[in-house]
Structure 1
């Protein structure tokens, strides 16, 4: 079996990074940790556990894509590479099973598995993350940043786009598919994630970042994130404008906007219940999913403003410490 190398990325992950390093030690040939300007003990902890540390240059805007590229470039003669975010721990057994599957199917560029939240019930925001991570197994269009990649496929498309600050994994996967590769999610637990998202402000910032990703990847690949971008236009732009116009010109018209949001909320909640989400959680999740169109739109506007003004694509952080 081809040896597996691991690239970990992080910024101020602290104890989460220590747990991540512990979950991969002894299972792989090489471990590279890429640090994006941490001010905690992340670098020291990684070095103490035998990882090769790459410190990103502070003069260039950070991005997860840039970090993963630097980690891959630091590997010696990679064949199969497992990328893991520093706030995750690897589930025992996944590496061997994923590597065997990848080697048995030459047309696959990458395989991934299921991520789950370590502290799922610590907040409604963590619960929502856990629901987002669990998607059907099989051939997929894209996956998150935890993935096992065939090195020649990574090299063939030039790795990730360092200018993409959110949904960079979707953008990378889109280029892989356009190059003729297949991607697959295995029905296996892969990593356990610590979102540490306990406050509304964190959730809002993450939703802004998500909208930035929808817009940026959609700009690069107009055939991708089409549904998400239409939802932002309707619920994040058209309906709020309609509401304001209604207030100024014909007040009854303004009632159409809250009615549309209410209908979306009901449809979303019922869809979550059909998907197996417990009823009480489904109603709470639906409220956040309905509201998310507003910060998503803010993120999209931020991307286009940066693009038009040639401003740096700086990361949008929701988690600190």
Structure 2
């Protein structure tokens, strides 16, 4: 058998220099590259075309989602001819030079593999506590996996079998895709290899807050679609984001000891989180934010339930 043919789909919105680095890391190594733009106001589209990249500009009259963008990119990529594999990458990521060959080789060696991924790292992990939190979150053990993030190499046949991404999922759409892939009988694997370099570029508390609201929306939406996925995350949000705050307020009127007990539980949660991060930069700040995160996550979950109840579109929650 010859080497598998490989194309790439990059998605983005106003990514600027990050997109330039992303596309430059793909074009020399892939048979074809498609960039899908979600309403950028910068020169993203013009730059992509200057590299010979096929550009898809999504219709602005429909809600933007990463899932919708990836599906559109896949269709455009395959219109240029059949391929065996597709590398999906977010436009704020640069692909490591030798990753594409390693991922393609793994998929070629095991025909039961539907997807491979690797390690994503932050370009500037200590630029802010928010970047550092991303750096910690990206690094997961290599080996068989249940889900992964949006940077992934997928077998075209597997993608087609499950119908691609669900365009109505606005967060954790990659989890939802992976869960369906596994249910269809495909194996998923994380290789012990650097795959992409990410530039979170989060410098403000408000950005982190909105991103965490988005995470909560993903917990609720994907958790409802694929129970018991995200069960633990949702339980912690209900307890630390709703029940304990209500008990604290109740304690102010009934018994101060109840409020003290609630604060003690938050302190214990903070301490346990800090203990797991104490060898990392900005461990105290990370632990504090992770303890607080249940509040915006609750807001995101409630946003999903309100939208579902009203039958509203699932609009993306932007944080950049």
Same fold (TM over 0.5): yes
* Superposition deviation, residue 23 in structure 1: 0.8
Instruction: Give the one of 3, 6, 27 matched to 2:5.
Output: 3
1:249 alignment counterpart: 254
1:23 alignment counterpart: 25
1:216 alignment counterpart: 221
The TM-score normalised by the length of structure 1 is 0.96
Which stretch shows the higher mean deviation, 141-150 or 262-271? 262-271
Residue 282, structure 1, aligned to residue 283, structure 2: yes
Question: C-alpha separation between the residues in 1 aligned to 2:305 and 2:255?
Answer: 32
1:35 alignment counterpart: 37
Partner of 1:116: helix, strand, or coil?
strand
* Superposition deviation, residue 120 in structure 1: 1.0
Instruction: Give the one of 127, 130, 133 matched to 1:125.
Output: 130
1:228-282 Cα shifts (integer Å, max 9, x gaps): 0110011011101111111123232122221111000001111224xxx33x522
Question: C-alpha separation between the residues in 2 aligned to 1:78 and 1:309?
Answer: 41
Partner of 2:111: helix, strand, or coil?
coil
2:303 alignment counterpart: 302
Question: C-alpha separation between the residues in 2 aligned to 1:114 and 1:216?
Answer: 26
Instruction: Give the one of 103, 113, 118 matched to 1:113.
Output: 118
Deviant stretches of 4+, over 6 Å: none
1:51 alignment counterpart: 53
* Superposition deviation, residue 287 in structure 1: 1.1
Alignment of 1:90-239 (within 5 A): 90-239=95-244
* Superposition deviation, residue 210 in structure 1: 0.5
Question: C-alpha separation between the residues in 2 aligned to 1:60 and 1:126?
Answer: 31
Question: C-alpha separation between the residues in 2 aligned to 1:140 and 1:53?
Answer: 32
Question: C-alpha separation between the residues in 2 aligned to 1:206 and 1:94?
Answer: 28
Residue 13, structure 1, aligned to residue 10, structure 2: no
1:57-84 Cα shifts (integer Å, max 9, x gaps): 1111000000000000111323100001
The TM-score normalised by the length of structure 2 is 0.97
Aligned residues: CA RMSD = 1.0
Question: C-alpha separation between the residues in 2 aligned to 1:255 and 1:57?
Answer: 53
* Superposition deviation, residue 53 in structure 1: 0.4
Residue 312, structure 1, aligned to residue 284, structure 2: no
Partner of 1:31: helix, strand, or coil?
strand
1:154-213 Cα shifts (integer Å, max 9, x gaps): 111110011100000000001111111110000000000000000111111111100110
Partner of 1:75: helix, strand, or coil?
helix
Number of equivalences: 315
